[in-house]
Structures are given as C-alpha cells and as structure tokens.
Amino acid sequence: MVGTQKSISLDEAVANAAAVLAAKLSGNMSKSMENLMLYEVPPLSSGWGRAGGMMEFVIKRNTRIPTKQTCTCQTARDNQMSACMGRFEGERAKASDNFLGELSVKGFPAAPRGEINFKVSYEIYENGILHVSSVGMATGKQNRTTVTKYKARLAEEEVELMLADAKKHKQEGKKERSKVAVMNASSDCIYSIKRKLEEEAIKQRTSEKYRQNILAKCEEMIKWTDTTKRTANEGHE
C-alpha cells in the first residue's frame, strides 16, 4: 500500500487496521508494512459562528489528530461584557446548520468595539474527544467545555448525508457569506463614523444638534444590524 488512501470504506478501514495491529503485536509485520502509519481524522469540520451567523472552520475535516488550533476574536459591540461562542460541527456555510453547543466568555471590561480580545482554542486528542476553551486576554478568565465526539457519535451514513447536504447548498452558502461580508463592512463603517463624531476636534467644528442627529442614526443602524445578525444566527449567538 503506497500513499494516502481516502476511498476506503469505514468497515474496510477498521478491518485493515485490526489486521495491521495484530501483525505488529505478533511480530509478523512484512517489510512492505513496516513503515505503514495509521492516522485518525475527524469526519466533519469543527468551528464557531462569526458575527452574521457564518461558520468559521477552525479544525477542518480529515485533519490528522491529535491537533490544536487557536484563533483570536474581538468584541463586536461597544461595552460588550461577554461573548457566547457557539460550538459547531459540519460543512455548511451557515453556522446554525452545524450547531453543537455553546461556550461563554464573561467579564470583559467596558471598552469600544474591537478593543477587547479573547482566544478560543479547539483541541482534539487521540481518543477523539474535543476540548474547546476560551480565555479573555484582558481578564485571564478561562472557560472550558468537552464534547465526546467522533467515537461512535455519527454513523458513516450520517456523515455522508451531511457532506452531501453541504455540497447541495454550497452556492447558497457563498451568497450568504457575501451578504454577511457586506453587512459586517457596513457595521465597521457605522462604528467608524460614531467614533469620529466623539473626537474633540469634530465637536468643536460641528453643531451639537447635528452631531446628536447623526449619532442617533448610527445607533439605529447598529440596532438594525445586530437584530439582523441575531436572526441570521437563529438564536445560536
């Protein structure tokens, strides 16, 4: 056997692995099998939901385990005190279609949007158990959750159905990502205008009435985008 074999069925893989293990334990390994390595991989990708409800793939399917991936996130709103990180598994572009559970990060100090960072780590051990942890970089507070997965959690038929479903909705997912990207860019622009209006130089050159009117419009747009994003996440933020 040469190279990586990806077309083998689950039952065949188990049978072949058992045969290799038996040969290794009995000392009857042939020369052609001496350098054979067997690796376990997750059948589906794992990740979290970004602002706007799209899936951020942290550990992609067929990644060799054990593995650990860490990403840095930022607050999405002014004076945001906590973040609820959805845990997701699957290949669909929309995070809510892959929902698995939640993990909260709390205790952020009041600060403008994007100024508070926190890290989220996904780690899959050799036994197939997923550990998800988050830590606030300003507070040092850590939260951790464990998901027993990959070990008889999904049958091969279920995985194949989920992959086929993701392929079927691939174009739909691309359109959704484009829409969310525009919405996030709009949010960035609104917050940028809001911060600019708070600068002392702008206050001195602009009437207070005009400035307050623009700030009110900014708040309206922020509320609208937040509501739209929550709807997109279907309650899984």
Domain assignment present for residue 93? The answer is yes
Domain assignment present for residue 214? The answer is yes
The conformation of residue 112, written as its DSSP 8-state character, comes to: -
Domain boundary among 146, 166, 186: 146
One domain for residues 173 and 90:
no
Domain boundary among 146, 170, 196: 146
One domain for residues 169 and 105:
no
For the beta carbon of residue 117, count every other beta carbon within 10 angstroms: 13
Domain assignment present for residue 34? The answer is no
User: Given a cut of 70, is residue 233 above it in pLDDT?
Assistant: no
Give the integer Cα–Cα distance in Å for 212 and 105: 33
One domain for residues 130 and 162:
no
Number of domains comprising the chain: 2
One domain for residues 131 and 191:
no
Average pLDDT, the chain: 75
Q: What is the per-residue pLDDT across 68-96, written as a single tens digit (0 to 9) for each? A: 988 888 888 888 888 777 677 767 666 66
Task: Quote the pLDDT of residue 152.
Answer: 41
Q: What is the per-residue pLDDT across 1-36, written as a single tens digit (0 to 9) for each? A: 445 555 566 567 667 777 776 776 676 766 766 666
pTM over 0.85: no
Provide the residue range defining the domain that includes 194.
Answer: 156-235
| H helical segments located in 92-169 | 156-168
In a 3-state reduction of DSSP, which class is residue 104?
strand
Give the integer Cα–Cα distance in Å for 236 and 103: 11
Domain assignment present for residue 181? The answer is yes
CATH code where residue 131 lies: 2.60.34.10
Q: Is 34 exposed, middle or buried (0-12, 13-18, 19+ CB in 10 A)?
A: exposed
One domain for residues 140 and 169:
no
Query: Which of 69-73, 98-102, 165-169 has the highest average model confidence (pLDDT)?
Result: 69-73
